[in-house]
Amino acid sequence: MNYTKLQELLINFIKKQAGNKNLVLGLSGGIDSALVAHLCKMAVNERLFTLLMPTKNSNKQNLDDALKLCKTLQIHHEIIYIDEILQSFEKVSKDLNLIRKGNFTARIRMSLLYDYSALKNALVVGTSNKSELMLGYGTIYGDLACAFNPLATLYKSEIFEFAKFIGVHENFINKAPSADLWPNQSDENDLGYAYKQLDEVLKAIENNENLDHFDENLKNLVLKRIKENAFKRKLPTTLESII
Protein backbone atom coordinates (compact mmCIF):
# COMPACT_ATOMS: atom_id res chain seq x y z
CA MET A 1 0.00 0.00 0.00
CA ASN A 2 1.21 3.51 -0.86
CA TYR A 3 1.02 5.12 2.59
CA THR A 4 2.28 8.48 1.32
CA LYS A 5 -0.70 8.67 -1.05
CA LEU A 6 -3.05 7.35 1.63
CA GLN A 7 -1.92 10.03 4.08
CA GLU A 8 -2.53 12.72 1.49
CA LEU A 9 -5.98 11.35 0.62
CA LEU A 10 -7.07 11.09 4.24
CA ILE A 11 -5.85 14.55 5.20
CA ASN A 12 -7.72 16.04 2.23
CA PHE A 13 -10.79 13.96 3.14
CA ILE A 14 -10.72 15.27 6.72
CA LYS A 15 -10.25 18.87 5.56
CA LYS A 16 -13.21 18.56 3.19
CA GLN A 17 -15.48 17.00 5.82
CA ALA A 18 -14.50 19.57 8.46
CA GLY A 19 -14.99 22.63 6.30
CA ASN A 20 -14.82 25.59 8.67
CA LYS A 21 -15.82 23.59 11.75
CA ASN A 22 -13.74 22.26 14.61
CA LEU A 23 -13.23 18.54 15.13
CA VAL A 24 -13.54 16.46 18.30
CA LEU A 25 -12.71 12.83 18.96
CA GLY A 26 -12.43 10.50 21.92
CA LEU A 27 -8.81 9.65 22.65
CA SER A 28 -8.71 6.23 24.28
CA GLY A 29 -5.01 5.46 24.37
CA GLY A 30 -5.44 2.90 21.60
CA ILE A 31 -3.89 2.87 18.15
CA ASP A 32 -7.01 3.79 16.16
CA SER A 33 -7.81 7.03 17.99
CA ALA A 34 -4.09 7.91 18.12
CA LEU A 35 -3.82 7.54 14.35
CA VAL A 36 -6.97 9.60 13.78
CA ALA A 37 -5.63 12.29 16.12
CA HIS A 38 -2.40 12.50 14.09
CA LEU A 39 -4.33 12.82 10.83
CA CYS A 40 -6.79 15.38 12.18
CA LYS A 41 -3.99 17.47 13.66
CA MET A 42 -2.31 17.54 10.24
CA ALA A 43 -5.62 18.48 8.62
CA VAL A 44 -7.04 21.17 10.93
CA ASN A 45 -4.26 21.91 13.45
CA GLU A 46 -5.66 24.13 16.26
CA ARG A 47 -9.25 23.23 15.43
CA LEU A 48 -8.85 19.73 16.90
CA PHE A 49 -10.18 18.89 20.38
CA THR A 50 -10.04 15.57 22.22
CA LEU A 51 -11.83 14.12 25.23
CA LEU A 52 -10.18 11.51 27.44
CA MET A 53 -12.96 9.64 29.27
CA PRO A 54 -11.57 6.98 31.61
CA THR A 55 -13.17 5.14 34.50
CA LYS A 56 -11.49 4.08 37.73
CA ASN A 57 -11.03 0.64 36.13
CA SER A 58 -9.42 1.94 32.95
CA ASN A 59 -5.88 0.92 32.09
CA LYS A 60 -3.69 3.73 33.47
CA GLN A 61 -1.17 3.20 30.67
CA ASN A 62 -3.84 4.16 28.14
CA LEU A 63 -4.50 7.46 29.89
CA ASP A 64 -0.78 8.17 30.21
CA ASP A 65 -0.20 7.44 26.52
CA ALA A 66 -3.15 9.62 25.49
CA LEU A 67 -1.89 12.52 27.60
CA LYS A 68 1.62 12.18 26.15
CA LEU A 69 0.17 12.25 22.65
CA CYS A 70 -1.79 15.43 23.41
CA LYS A 71 1.35 17.06 24.76
CA THR A 72 3.53 15.95 21.84
CA LEU A 73 1.07 17.08 19.18
CA GLN A 74 -0.17 20.08 21.20
CA ILE A 75 -3.79 18.99 21.03
CA HIS A 76 -6.52 20.68 23.08
CA HIS A 77 -7.85 18.10 25.52
CA GLU A 78 -9.99 17.55 28.59
CA ILE A 79 -10.20 14.58 30.96
CA ILE A 80 -13.67 13.55 32.14
CA TYR A 81 -13.95 10.61 34.52
CA ILE A 82 -17.28 8.96 33.77
CA ASP A 83 -17.66 6.75 36.88
CA GLU A 84 -20.51 8.74 38.44
CA ILE A 85 -22.48 8.77 35.20
CA LEU A 86 -21.93 5.04 34.72
CA GLN A 87 -22.96 4.29 38.30
CA SER A 88 -26.26 6.12 37.79
CA PHE A 89 -27.04 3.82 34.87
CA GLU A 90 -26.06 0.77 36.88
CA LYS A 91 -28.49 1.70 39.67
CA VAL A 92 -31.53 1.50 37.37
CA SER A 93 -30.43 -1.58 35.37
CA LYS A 94 -31.31 -5.15 36.27
CA ASP A 95 -28.88 -8.07 36.00
CA LEU A 96 -26.25 -5.92 34.34
CA ASN A 97 -23.56 -8.01 32.61
CA LEU A 98 -20.23 -6.96 31.12
CA ILE A 99 -21.57 -6.52 27.59
CA ARG A 100 -24.41 -4.21 28.68
CA LYS A 101 -22.09 -2.28 30.99
CA GLY A 102 -19.67 -1.91 28.11
CA ASN A 103 -22.47 -0.57 25.92
CA PHE A 104 -23.38 1.97 28.60
CA THR A 105 -19.74 3.04 28.82
CA ALA A 106 -19.43 3.50 25.05
CA ARG A 107 -22.71 5.44 24.80
CA ILE A 108 -21.84 7.71 27.73
CA ARG A 109 -18.58 8.59 26.03
CA MET A 110 -20.32 9.32 22.75
CA SER A 111 -22.97 11.44 24.51
CA LEU A 112 -20.19 13.54 26.01
CA LEU A 113 -18.49 13.86 22.63
CA TYR A 114 -21.68 15.09 20.97
CA ASP A 115 -22.34 17.51 23.82
CA TYR A 116 -18.79 18.80 23.47
CA SER A 117 -19.28 19.08 19.71
CA ALA A 118 -22.21 21.44 20.34
CA LEU A 119 -20.08 23.48 22.76
CA LYS A 120 -17.17 23.79 20.33
CA ASN A 121 -19.07 23.91 17.02
CA ALA A 122 -17.28 20.70 16.14
CA LEU A 123 -17.91 17.50 14.21
CA VAL A 124 -17.40 14.17 15.97
CA VAL A 125 -14.75 12.12 14.18
CA GLY A 126 -15.06 8.33 14.19
CA THR A 127 -12.18 5.99 15.01
CA SER A 128 -13.54 2.56 14.01
CA ASN A 129 -11.59 0.59 11.43
CA LYS A 130 -12.94 -1.60 8.63
CA SER A 131 -12.39 -4.86 10.53
CA GLU A 132 -14.48 -3.64 13.47
CA LEU A 133 -17.19 -2.31 11.18
CA MET A 134 -17.50 -5.53 9.16
CA LEU A 135 -17.50 -7.71 12.29
CA GLY A 136 -19.89 -5.42 14.14
CA TYR A 137 -17.35 -5.10 16.92
CA GLY A 138 -18.61 -1.86 18.38
CA THR A 139 -21.59 -0.27 20.12
CA ILE A 140 -24.32 1.17 17.93
CA TYR A 141 -24.92 4.81 18.95
CA GLY A 142 -21.74 4.45 21.00
CA ASP A 143 -18.26 4.25 19.49
CA LEU A 144 -19.79 3.57 16.06
CA ALA A 145 -21.50 6.99 16.02
CA CYS A 146 -19.76 9.86 14.24
CA ALA A 147 -20.09 12.57 11.61
CA PHE A 148 -17.44 10.91 9.44
CA ASN A 149 -14.86 8.16 9.81
CA PRO A 150 -11.35 8.37 8.30
CA LEU A 151 -10.45 4.73 9.09
CA ALA A 152 -13.55 3.04 7.68
CA THR A 153 -11.71 1.70 4.62
CA LEU A 154 -8.66 0.37 6.50
CA TYR A 155 -8.41 -3.09 8.02
CA LYS A 156 -6.96 -3.33 11.52
CA SER A 157 -3.83 -5.08 10.23
CA GLU A 158 -3.30 -2.12 7.86
CA ILE A 159 -3.75 0.34 10.74
CA PHE A 160 -0.58 -0.93 12.44
CA GLU A 161 1.55 -0.40 9.34
CA PHE A 162 0.04 2.99 8.55
CA ALA A 163 0.52 4.14 12.16
CA LYS A 164 4.22 3.26 11.95
CA PHE A 165 4.48 5.27 8.73
CA ILE A 166 2.70 8.29 10.24
CA GLY A 167 4.95 8.23 13.29
CA VAL A 168 2.49 7.14 15.97
CA HIS A 169 4.43 6.29 19.14
CA GLU A 170 5.36 2.63 19.53
CA ASN A 171 3.40 2.44 22.80
CA PHE A 172 0.18 2.55 20.77
CA ILE A 173 1.45 0.12 18.16
CA ASN A 174 2.78 -2.52 20.56
CA LYS A 175 -0.09 -2.74 23.06
CA ALA A 176 -2.87 -5.31 22.71
CA PRO A 177 -5.97 -3.75 21.07
CA SER A 178 -8.69 -3.03 23.63
CA ALA A 179 -11.80 -0.87 23.93
CA ASP A 180 -10.98 -0.65 27.67
CA LEU A 181 -14.65 -1.10 28.60
CA TRP A 182 -13.84 -3.31 31.59
CA PRO A 183 -10.66 -4.45 33.38
CA ASN A 184 -8.26 -6.59 31.31
CA GLN A 185 -10.45 -6.49 28.22
CA SER A 186 -8.80 -7.49 24.96
CA ASP A 187 -10.29 -7.23 21.48
CA GLU A 188 -8.68 -10.47 20.37
CA ASN A 189 -9.88 -12.33 23.48
CA ASP A 190 -13.40 -11.09 22.81
CA LEU A 191 -13.25 -12.05 19.14
CA GLY A 192 -11.35 -15.31 19.65
CA TYR A 193 -8.71 -14.67 16.98
CA ALA A 194 -5.94 -12.22 16.14
CA TYR A 195 -6.87 -9.39 13.77
CA LYS A 196 -4.38 -10.70 11.21
CA GLN A 197 -6.34 -13.95 10.97
CA LEU A 198 -9.71 -12.20 10.94
CA ASP A 199 -8.59 -9.74 8.27
CA GLU A 200 -7.50 -12.52 5.93
CA VAL A 201 -11.05 -13.90 5.96
CA LEU A 202 -12.64 -10.46 5.72
CA LYS A 203 -10.53 -9.56 2.69
CA ALA A 204 -11.41 -12.86 1.01
CA ILE A 205 -15.11 -12.18 1.60
CA GLU A 206 -14.82 -8.64 0.25
CA ASN A 207 -13.08 -9.96 -2.89
CA ASN A 208 -15.60 -12.81 -3.35
CA GLU A 209 -12.86 -15.41 -2.98
CA ASN A 210 -13.31 -19.05 -2.02
CA LEU A 211 -13.22 -19.57 1.76
CA ASP A 212 -12.71 -23.34 1.82
CA HIS A 213 -9.04 -23.16 2.80
CA PHE A 214 -9.74 -21.24 6.02
CA ASP A 215 -10.12 -22.89 9.41
CA GLU A 216 -13.78 -23.84 9.74
CA ASN A 217 -14.27 -22.25 13.15
CA LEU A 218 -12.60 -19.01 12.08
CA LYS A 219 -14.61 -18.82 8.87
CA ASN A 220 -17.91 -19.54 10.61
CA LEU A 221 -17.21 -16.98 13.32
CA VAL A 222 -16.56 -14.24 10.79
CA LEU A 223 -19.58 -15.10 8.67
CA LYS A 224 -21.82 -15.25 11.73
CA ARG A 225 -20.64 -11.91 13.06
CA ILE A 226 -21.08 -10.21 9.69
CA LYS A 227 -24.63 -11.55 9.39
CA GLU A 228 -25.74 -10.93 12.96
CA ASN A 229 -24.30 -7.41 13.14
CA ALA A 230 -25.44 -6.20 9.74
CA PHE A 231 -28.01 -3.94 11.45
CA LYS A 232 -25.18 -1.83 12.86
CA ARG A 233 -24.12 -0.84 9.35
CA LYS A 234 -27.60 0.28 8.22
CA LEU A 235 -29.68 3.38 8.74
CA PRO A 236 -32.92 2.87 10.71
CA THR A 237 -35.69 1.35 8.59
CA THR A 238 -38.47 3.70 7.47
CA LEU A 239 -41.67 3.09 5.55
CA GLU A 240 -40.12 4.75 2.50
CA SER A 241 -37.17 2.33 2.57
CA ILE A 242 -39.38 -0.79 2.33
CA ILE A 243 -41.94 0.24 -0.32
32 is an annotated ligand-binding site residue: yes
Sign of CA dihedral 98, 104, 107, 111: negative
28 is an annotated ligand-binding site residue: yes
CA-closest candidate to residue 125, choices 40, 62, 7: 40
User: Could you give the CA distance from residue 214 to residue 236 in angstroms, rounded to a whole number?
Assistant: 34
CA dihedral 158, 223, 147, 115 (to 10 degrees): -110
132 is an annotated ligand-binding site residue: yes
29 is an annotated ligand-binding site residue: yes
User: Could you give the CA distance from residue 124 to residue 186 in angstroms, rounded to a whole number?
Assistant: 25
Count how many Cα atoms sit within 13 Å of the Cα of residue 44 in the half-sphere of its side chain: 26
Task: Give residues with Cβ within 8 angstroms of 23, minimum separation 6.
Answer: 14, 40, 43, 44, 47, 48, 49, 122, 123, 125
Helix (H) or strand (E) holding 48, with range, is: strand 48-52
215 is an annotated ligand-binding site residue: no
Single-letter residue type at 161: E
- Note the Cα 196 to chain centre separation in Å: 17
CB 3 within 8 A of CB 132: no
107 is an annotated ligand-binding site residue: yes
27 is an annotated ligand-binding site residue: yes
31 is an annotated ligand-binding site residue: yes
CB 111 within 8 A of CB 82: no
Annotated binding site for deamido-NAD(+): 107
* Binding-site annotation, residues: 26-33, 107, 127, 132, 156, 178
| Residue positions forming the annotated binding site for ATP | 26-33, 127, 156, 178
User: Which residues define the annotated binding site for Mg(2+)?
Assistant: 32, 132
